[in-house]
Copies of this chain bind each other. A is one copy, B any other.
Amino acid sequence: MLKYALLGFLNYFPMTGYELESYMSATTAYFWHAKLSQIYTTLKKLEEEGLLRSQVEPQEERPDRRVYSVTEAGRKELLGWLQEPLTELEPKKDALLLKVFFAAQAGKETVLTQLRLQLRLHERQLQYYREQTPALIERTVGEFPQLADDGLLWEASRRHGELYEEMYVRWLDETIHKIEEAFPE
C-alpha cells in the first residue's frame, strides 16, 4: 500500500526517498506513514518492477541523491488503484481502546490517568490540523498552481483529521466524566 503512496507523490514530481519521507510526514502521516528504511526498500522493489526509474545526482560532501520518477507503467498502476473501489470497511487498530476495554481489571485511577494523558495529546493534534495544516496546503497550491484540484482533496483529508480529533476529544471528555461518576471514591 505504501507502494501507491510513493507512486502518488512521485506523480506530482520526481524526488528522493528522503524527500518522500518528509512530504509524507507533513501531509499523509495522519492516515499513512512509513519509516525511511521501508521507503528505500520499497522504492528499490518498484524500480525492479519497472514502475519507477531513478537517476543518481552526484553531490560533494554528502551522499549522492537518488531521484525517482514514475514510468508509464507506474502511472497506469497508480490510476488502476485509484479506480478500484473499496467495497469493505478497513479494519482498524487502536491500542488505547483495547486497554479501555479491559481496564476494569486495573482500577479506576489507572484508566483515568491514561485517558487524561490521551486527552492532552488529541487536543494538541486537533490544534495542529486547525492551525498548521491549512497554511501548508495553501503554500503548496500557491507554489504549484497546476495542483489546485488536488488541493481541494488535500483539504478534504485534512478536514477528516480535524473531525476525527474533535470526535476523539469529545469521547475522552465524556468517558472521563462517566468513569468519575460511576466509580465514586
User: Taking beta carbons and an 8 Å cutoff, which residues of A are in contact with B?
Assistant: 1, 4-5, 8, 11, 27-33, 78-79, 81-83, 85-106, 110-111, 113-114, 117-118, 121-122, 125, 147, 149-150, 152-154, 156-157, 159-160, 163-164, 166-167, 170-171, 174-175, 178-179, 182-183
* In the complex, chain B residues whose CB is within 8 Å of the CB of A114: 85-86
Closest approach, in angstroms, between the C-beta of A173 and any C-beta of chain B? 11
* In the complex, chain B residues whose CB is within 8 Å of the CB of A174: 159
Closest approach, in angstroms, between the C-beta of A129 and any C-beta of chain B? 12
Rank and list the top 3 A-B pairs by shortest CB-CB distance, nearest first. Answer: A8-B102, A82-B106, A31-B97
* In the complex, chain B residues whose CB is within 8 Å of the CB of A179: 152-153, 156
